[in-house]
Amino acid sequence: MTLSAQSLSKRYGAASACAAVRNASLDVGRGDFISIVGRSGSGKSTLMAMLGALTKPTQGRLLLDGTDVWTLSESERATFRACHVGFVFQFPSLLSNLTAADNVAVPALLGRTMPAEDAYARAHELLARVGLADRAEAYPDSMSGGEQRRVAVARALINAPPLLLADEPTSDLDENTEGDIIDLLEDLQRRDSFGCVLVTHDLRLAARAQRSFEMRQGALTPREVSRAEAAPRRSVTPASVAAVPDVPARAPIRLGESLWRGVRIFLPAAAAILAAILLTDFGVETYQSMRLRERTARHAALQHLALNRLRGDVQSVTDLGDGRYELTTYLQNVGGEPIYVMTPQMRAFVQVASLWQEVPMTATEENATGVTEILGKQTYRYRFDARVRDFAQLLPNYMHVRFSGSMLVSPSSTPNDDVFERKDNYYVYLKPFDVTDEVVLRRMRFSGKPPVWIPMPPH
């Protein structure tokens, strides 16, 4: 298999708007190991999304063995993504209510690429290959960051794709764990001979690839793999300094003795004033440094409170009929200290092509308003109208829906400056009200009635 990207470009907005990727070309075949480096915002993730047919290029072609992927039907493109490409994203994005084996098997089960028994057999085989044979029944919240990344790698390989796209798969890991994950990818790639495109900020990791490229302001260019990423500093020798001509010294000018005696009288006072100024300056600098450290520590504590000790997710989505649904979310205080939140604000979006279309959403009357103390688990309900035409179908006959929420979090009921703004995005597949169960079951397999909603990991 050969995947060929030919002059791919991606622009957002009008023709004169932002060009995320400009005329990028890249060929990837079985056994190729390619790295892409570049600063944040240079277009790396957008290019990876186009290589995986997750987003359509504004210009250019994506060829699979000579066939333009974007001339295929939506169903055929879904098959391309399921069978030909494995994705490892910046975050593990595991489903929290599923075990490691379930998470690995999900792409095969949803895509119906193999029977359920075979999917779970391969999931356990892959978990053993990534060193997690004894963690197959563990849930994500009981696994370390490195273990979650290994599960994500195994999940990407469940359908034995000939191409693996890894978009900064070690972004928030320590150096040792980062090295372990890259070693694992290299070993799997070498044994299974799949093509691999790795996006990374680390030049040392990029140098391990067979070919390396750099993204800069949307342009993809080849780069030489070198151990010395920076040129040596040029040393300045005495010979390179221009000679300074000798200038005869002027005779010193002597002042009167009476003037010198007057100056000596004020020297002790001037020295005392100078010392006071220096001490004051040192004190101010020390105080400012202390306050900066305090603010940094306070912000870190607030961030930990809002993001680690306060859990939130979608609890349920109920079909009210006629395209109307009720969303129930929850917040849960998993620590022992008080947490206060300002009423969460929630918005709903449905994906149409590669864009998100906002749909009407309102909070129900029973939602707590104002500042609320979260004791245990607190639920919030919202109603929204999802009657949208031409929605994108990442899963056949299901809408791709995003719920975006924001709230203020504080350890105090009357916060002053100890407030942290938390933002969440929840993603679900949602069954449209006008699609019957029979239509869904023609292309999807479920143990019973097709669910109204299917949770998705953050992405």
3-class secondary structure per residue, the chain: CEEEEEEEEEECCCCCCCEEEEEEEEEEECCCEEEEECCCCCCHHHHHHHHCCCCCCCEEEEEECCEEHHHCCHHHHHHHHHHHEEEECCCCCCCCCCCHHHHHHHHHHHHCCCCHHHHHHHHHHHHHHCCCHHHCCCCHHHCCHHHHHHHHHHHHCCCCCCEEEEECCCCCCCHHHHHHHHHHHHHHHHHHCCEEEEECCCHHHHCCCCEEEEEECCEEEECCCCCCCCCCCCCCCHHHCCCCCCCCCCCCCCCCHHHHHHHHHHHHHHHHHHHHHHHHHHHHHHHHHHHHHHHHHHHHHHHHHHHCCEEEEEEEEEEEECCEEEEEEEEEECCCCCCEEECCEEEEEEEECCEEEEECEEECCCCCCCEEECCCEEEEEEEEECCCCCCCCCCCCCEEEEEEEEEEEECCCCCCCCCEEEEEEEEEEECCCCCCHHHHHHHCCCCCCCCCEEEECCC
* Per-residue model confidence as pLDDT tens digits over 228-262: 543 333 333 333 333 333 434 434 434 444 444 55
- pLDDT digit string (tens) for 188-212? 888 888 999 999 877 888 888 999 9
pLDDT for the residue numbered 181:
82
DSSP code for 69? G
Count of CB atoms within 10 A of residue 82's CB? 18
Task: Give the residue carrying structure tokens 């004894």.
Answer: 134
Q: Is the pLDDT of residue 345 over 80?
A: yes
402 has a pLDDT exceeding 90: yes
Per-residue pLDDT tens digits for 7-64: 999 987 765 567 889 999 999 999 999 999 988 778 888 999 999 998 899 999 999 9
Q: Please choose, from the candidates 92, 69, 89, the residue with its C-alpha nearest in 3D space to the C-alpha of residue 79.
A: 69
User: Helices 116-129 & 145-156, crossing angle to 10 degrees?
Assistant: 130
pLDDT at 230 (0 to 100):
32
Summary mean pLDDT of the chain: 82
d(CA 238, CA 407) in angstroms, rounded, equals 63
**Residues whose CB is less than 8 angstroms from the CB of residue 393 and which lie 6 or more positions away in sequence, other chains included:** 74, 78, 399, 400
Residue 74 binned pLDDT confidence (cut-offs 50, 70, 90): confident
Averaged over 404-425, what is the pLDDT?
84
- pLDDT range class, residue 338, cuts 50, 70, 90: confident
* Predicted local distance difference test score (pLDDT) of residue 253: 39
Q: Residue 341's closest CA among 302, 294, 315, 385?
A: 302
All structural domains of the chain, each given as residue ranges with its CATH number in brackets, are 2-222 (3.40.50.300), 310-456 (2.60.40)
pLDDT at 427: 93
Q: According to the model, what pLDDT value does residue 288 have?
A: 61
For the segment 267-278, the average pLDDT, to the nearest whole number, is 64
Residue 355 has pLDDT above 60, yes or no: yes
Q: Say yes or no to pLDDT of 414 above 50.
A: yes
Q: What is the pLDDT of residue 232?
A: 35
Say how far apart CA 104 and CA 152 lie, in whole Å: 7
C-alpha torsion sign, points 191, 196, 199, 205: positive
Question: What pLDDT does 277 receive?
Answer: 62
pLDDT of 75 = 85
At residue 32, the pLDDT reads 92
pLDDT score of 411: 87
pLDDT given at position 249: 40
Predicted confidence at residue 337, as pLDDT, reads 83
| Residue 83: pLDDT over 60 | yes
pLDDT, residue 447, reads 80
- pLDDT of 367: 77
- Model pLDDT for residues 117-176, shown as the tens digit of each residue: 999 999 999 999 889 999 999 999 899 888 998 999 999 999 999 999 998 887 767 777
129 three-class SS: helix
Tell me the pLDDT band of 357, cut-offs 50, 70 and 90: very high
What does the pLDDT look like over 416-459, one tens digit per residue? 667 888 888 999 999 999 999 999 998 888 888 999 999 987 65
pLDDT in tens, 368-378: 677 888 888 99
Predicted local distance difference test score (pLDDT) of residue 275: 64
pTM for this one?
0.51
Lowest-confidence segment of 75-84, 89-98, 258-267, 358-367 by average pLDDT: 258-267
What is the model's pLDDT at position 152? 92
Name residues whose C-beta falls within 8 Å of residue 147's C-beta, 6 or more positions apart in sequence.
132, 135, 138
Q: What percent of the chain has pLDDT over 70?
A: 81
